[in-house]
Amino acid sequence: MANSPQAKKRARQNADRFTVNRARRSRIRTYLRKVEEAIAAGDQDAAQAALREAQPHLMKGVTKGIVHKNTAARKMSRLSSRVKGLGAGA
């Protein structure tokens, strides 16, 4: 347990940051899941719209340090290629 006032403050800050980060991570996953569901349904227009909606949230997660930038780039790349593949299959 933290004893010094500085350590107690850091513990409080970490708890608050954890809560915010958990909410942000959950929001990012929700947007990515919407893209996945649209791809699974085979609806390219909905998938494209969901991808455009998910990108800013994912990139904001990068700037806030929740997601590594290469991870975000990889996810966007793979999702966009899958969305493009829906159009080629039609």
pLDDT one-digit tens code per residue, 21-46: 999 999 999 999 999 999 999 999 99
Q: Distance (Å, rounded) from C-alpha 67 to C-alpha 26?
A: 12
Residue spans of the chain under pLDDT 50: none
pLDDT of residue 89: 61
Is the separation of the CB atoms in 72 and 61 below 8 Å?
Answer: yes
Fold of 5-89: Methane Monooxygenase Hydroxylase; Chain G, domain 1 (1.20.58)
Q: Structural domain boundaries of the chain?
A: 5-89
